[in-house]
C-alpha cells in the first residue's frame, strides 16, 4: 500500500487521530452496532447491517445445506480476520509503519456432535488459530509489537476470547 501526505496504508491519519480524540473523552458513549437476520429458507439467511447489501449465509453440502454462501462459523472467522486487518492498517499507520501486504489465515475446530445434540459440551470454536503474513520494511521487533497490540485491542478478538452476556429473547410473530 502506498503512502502519501497524511495517509499511510490507505488510512487518513487526520481522520483517525480526530476520531481517537473524540472517543478518548471519558464522557463519550460506547458505540452500539446492530444487525437484523431473516431466515430465507432451508439453512440460508440474510443479515442486514447499516445500508449495505445483505450478508447471505448457508451451510455446506455435507451439513445438508446448499453451499451457496459461507456458513455462520466461517463468518466468525471472517469477522475476526477483517477486524484484525483493520487493526493492522490503523495501528501500523499511526505508528508510521507502511504495510506492503497483509494476509491473515484463520482456522478453528468445532465439535459438530454438540451442535447436533449428540454430545454434551461447548458448541462453539474450541480454538482459533490466526497466522498473519506481513510484508513491510519495519524491523521484526516493531512488527511483533504491532501484532501484539492488534491482537490485544481487537474488538472481535476480545468478544471471542472473553465471555460476553447474551440476552436472547423469543417473541411470537403476529
Output the pLDDT for position 125: 97
Could you give all domains of the chain from N- to C-terminal order, each with its CATH number?
Answer: 71-161 (3.30.300.20)
Q: How confident is the model at residue 109 (pLDDT cuts 50, 70, 90)?
A: very high
Cβ proximity of 1 and 98 under 8 Å: yes
Angstrom distance (rounded) from CA 88 to CA 162: 21
Output the pLDDT for position 98: 97
- Give yes or no for residue 5 having a pLDDT over 70: no
Q: How confident is the model at residue 1 (pLDDT cuts 50, 70, 90)?
A: low
Q: How confident is the model at residue 2 (pLDDT cuts 50, 70, 90)?
A: very low
Summarised one tens digit per residue, pLDDT across range 48-57 is 999 999 999 9
Output the pLDDT for position 30: 83
Summarised one tens digit per residue, pLDDT across range 33-52 is 999 999 999 999 999 999 99
Q: What percent of the chain has pLDDT over 70?
A: 97
Per the listing, cell 490503523 goes with: 90
Summarised one tens digit per residue, pLDDT across range 15-30 is 988 888 888 887 777 8
Question: Which cell goes with 145?
Answer: 509489537
- Give yes or no for residue 66 having a pLDDT over 70: yes
- Give yes or no for residue 3 having a pLDDT over 70: no
Angstrom distance (rounded) from CA 47 to CA 45: 7
Summarised one tens digit per residue, pLDDT across range 120-168 is 999 999 999 999 999 999 999 999 999 999 999 999 999 999 989 999 9
Angstrom distance (rounded) from CA 8 to CA 91: 10
Q: 88: exposed, middle or buried (C-beta count within 10 Å: 0-12, 13-18, 19+)?
A: buried
Amino acid at each position: 500500500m502506498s503512502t502519501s501526505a497524511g495517509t499511510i496504508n490507505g488510512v487518513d491519519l487526520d481522520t483517525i487521530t480526530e476520531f481517537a480524540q473524540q472517543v478518548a473523552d471519558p464522557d463519550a458513549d460506547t458505540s452500539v452496532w446492530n444487525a437484523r437476520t431473516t431466515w430465507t429458507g432451508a439453512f440460508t439467511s440474510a443479515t442486514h447491517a447499516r445500508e449495505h447489501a445483505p450478508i447471505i449465509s448457508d451451510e455446506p453440502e455435507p451439513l445438508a445445506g446448499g453451499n451457496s454462501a459461507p456458513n455462520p462459523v466461517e463468518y466468525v472467522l471472517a469477522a475476526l480476520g477483517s477486524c484484525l486487518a483493520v487493526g493492522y492498517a490503523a495501528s501500523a499507520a499511526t505508528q508510521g509503519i507502511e504495510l506492503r501486504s497483509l494476509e491473515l489465515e484463520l482456522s478453528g475446530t468445532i465439535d459438530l456432535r454438540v451442535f447436533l445434540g449428540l454430545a454434551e459440551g461447548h458448541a462453539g470454536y474450541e480454538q482459533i488459530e490466526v497466522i498473519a503474513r506481513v510484508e513491510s520494511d519495519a524491523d521484526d521487533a516493531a512488527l511483533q509489537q504491532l501484532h501484539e497490540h492488534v491482537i490485544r485491542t481487537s474488538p472481535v478478538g476480545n468478544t471471542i476470547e472473553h465471555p460476553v452476556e447474551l440476552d436472547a429473547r423469543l417473541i411470537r410473530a403476529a
